[in-house]
Amino acid sequence: MAIVNAQLTTTQLDLLTVPSGKSWAITNIMVCNNGSTPASFDIHLVPQGTALSNAVTRVINSLELPVSETFTFDSERIVLEVGDKLSFVAEPDAGAGLTALSATVSYLEV
């Protein structure tokens, strides 16, 4: 099992992209608001060869997190194949395109 962490941005952040010859199962997604104001985020599951699209790839839409709260997505397993991506977009801008939200994703190879 592996984890990846990132500070979310106001533009598309591809937190995971499955490399050639691999399949990954996402086991847990956590997003934490480390700031002093509410913040929100979108999660996109983007198939290989597809562009991020609110109408097609968004699975979480503008989920607002109060200050010091954490969102956990762990009731379903999501299997990604070669070239598939797990992407985030968040707001508000805390400076330089970064937000006060951090994300941790746990995944394993299947």
Task: Give 42-58 pLDDT, tens digit per residue.
Answer: 999 999 999 999 999 99
Residue 76 is predicted with a pLDDT of 87
Ordered by where they begin, the domains of the chain are: 2-109 (2.60.120)
Q: How far apart are CA 89 and CA 100, in angstroms?
A: 12
Residue 1 is predicted with a pLDDT of 77
Cis peptide before 92 (omega within 30 of 0): yes
Residue 110 is predicted with a pLDDT of 95
Of 99, 21, 95, 27, the residue nearest 65 (C-alpha): 99
Task: Give 23-79 pLDDT, tens digit per residue.
Answer: 999 999 999 999 999 999 999 999 999 999 999 999 999 999 999 999 999 988 999
pTM of the model: 0.95
Q: How far apart are CA 72 and CA 21, in angstroms?
A: 29
Residue 109 is predicted with a pLDDT of 96
